Amino acid sequence: MDLYIKDKVGFRMPAHDKEKRCVTCKEIYHLHMFRENKTCNVCVRKDKRKKYRSAHPKEIGARAILKIALKSGHLIKQPCEKCGAISNVDGHHPDYEKPLDIIWLCRAHHMQEHSRLKLLSDGNA
């Protein structure tokens, strides 16, 4: 029994056992790049982004327009409306139909706002 356990442990130790090939991109990554699946985190993230894009076309469009407006100087970043922070401020769209109607929020308040909105829409669904 002891021997069996030792063998088991020995078998797990080599570096190559800590690596796995992703079924999607065929790259070999360390196991920490896999979360209980056969696809690496890179591909999982890519896939999530793709799904997000197709699920939220208006949001993506509104963000693209906002980016252009910022670049061209039509819009200027403002401090967070809730706390006045000036770093990591994002434009939040209360209505994606109006891409230039922006509320400026720092990352923390932006996330807070989105979880509030999510709660609201979940409650209505």
Calpha distance 119→113 (Å, rounded): 10
Calpha distance 106→92 (Å, rounded): 9
CB of 31: closest distance to Zn ion in angstroms?
13
Single residue of 75, 99, 102, 109 touching Zn ion by CB under 5 A: 109
> Does 43 help bind Zn ion (rule: CB under 5 A)?
yes
Region binding Zn ion by CB under 5 A among candidate stretches 4-12, 54-62, 72-80, 116-124:
72-80
Single residue of 31, 68, 83, 86 touching Zn ion by CB under 5 A: 83
